[in-house]
Structure 1
Amino acid sequence: MIGLTIVAMGSSAPEIVVSATASLAGKTDTAVGNALGSNITNIALVLGLTAVIKPLLVSSTTLKRELPVLLLISLLAVYFIDDSYMSRMEGIVLITLFVLVIAGMALLSFKVDKGDPLIAETEDEIPSGVSTKTAVFWVLIGLVLLPLSASFLVDSAVFIAKYFGISDLVIGLTIIAIGTSLPELAASIAGVLKGEDDLALGNIIGSNIFNLLAVLAMPGLIMPSALDISAASRDSLVMLGLTVLLFVFCFNIRGTRRISRLEGGVLISSFLAYQIYLFT
């Protein structure tokens, strides 16, 4: 439950705040690019690197339930972006689904098989010996620094984009997406090095679900507007394709249910090819 919600929400906080900041600045393409690019980076780069370090076993029944949810939400996101416009109603639908998914995951966590390895792994992630005052202090520090750093990130990225003649969409898909995906990279590598494969996968799956529901909802809720046509014809399809590929790797016909080093290499190669295509 913690790995799929609290850890994932915490590592998705940069994307949410950056998307809101970009939307308030009228940079809808940057906000949408951040959501799509973060999911692409999470699957192709973060999971790819993690699998190369150590092949990932998919053993948790919880993760087997979350992957189909991610695939369905990805299809919905592609459908919403297909008309190259993010409306306020689409934003409302996405944020409502976000609340429902959180509530659903909370309810399902009470029914999870006690033998599920994710339970023991996520319990190990709960901090111990931390006072309430200390926890509240760091939450407040984070609430101050996160929006400030998000504002600096968006303003600087827009400056770079204008200097090099890069579109707002591409800057959101690349520099901002990679920057805001660093928490997922750190959490996933730390998880796999400790042998907690399901926590590493759960972090990415949970983060991607939140990106498409909470992060993608921001431009629709804050600044409904037309999008760069490439978001529909290129980037959303790349995101969906990588999600399908992850699904295939986790539930392959050989029945091994693991992401091997070779498959991790395929994901990394896909990420590099996509980045090269964007800039050339």
Structure 2
Amino acid sequence: MTATVNRPQDTQLRAPILSARGLVKTFGRVIGLDGVDLDLYAGEVLAVIGDNGAGKSTLIKCLTGALVPDAGHLVLEERPVTFRRPQDARAAGIETVYQTLAVAPALDIASNMYLGREERRRGILGSVFRMLDHRGMRDRASAAVRDLGIQTIQNIQQPVETLSGGQRQAVAVARAAAFGSKVVVLDEPTAALGVKESNQVLEMIKGLRERGLPVILISHNMPHVWEVADRIHIQRLGRCAGVITPDSHTMSDGVAIMTGATNLQDPQPTS
């Protein structure tokens, strides 16, 4: 049975930035994904929700190169793409902020933002002597932090290990925004944060949307999802149970669909 998809009218007139069609991923006899479709449009926040084991992480890993699907295909800006590793997705403009953040605590903020992407100085100093452009990277890192409206970070040379959890998350999001030219994926960005820090992260997500950068948000926090998401992709038992919007369905509706108590064809509780 195919789930009904509710979309804002304007998305039906635009081509998605990122599309997935018929994604299948198995782990032996365990089915992680069973023919999942997904569309992400420019300037929107698409939340992905689902119970444990629903296939959220597997879906995101297939979209970002951490896993290669057994079947199905991806389309980025109307061109077929294949990601064999995360570096392929990053090179294509898809940046992912995992729940573990993947920051180097002993390094400063600028060094973390350019970790693995260090830039050399111009001319012979960079080409022959391979000297890094530390000042340029600090300046560009500061600009990226300012562009996101992050006011809790004042010193770009501050070691990450001295930052709070919310500030570390801000660094990771700023890094993704700086290099994610097409898509930013956020995996449970507020899971380990307090109320104040979570609100700061939500404001950053809204800021990314205002810049026209599409965001995929994976979260268990339903109030956060309903606050920032434009559309909500619901995973259940390895399949897409449907796509809803905060305007068309309440949080209770979303949880009911996610758990199988209701479906989009029959809004009444199942027996």
Return the TM-score normalized by structure 1.
0.26
Higher relative contact order (CA 8 A, sep 6+): 1
Structure holding more helix per residue: 1
Return the TM-score normalized by structure 2.
0.26
Structure holding more strand per residue: 2
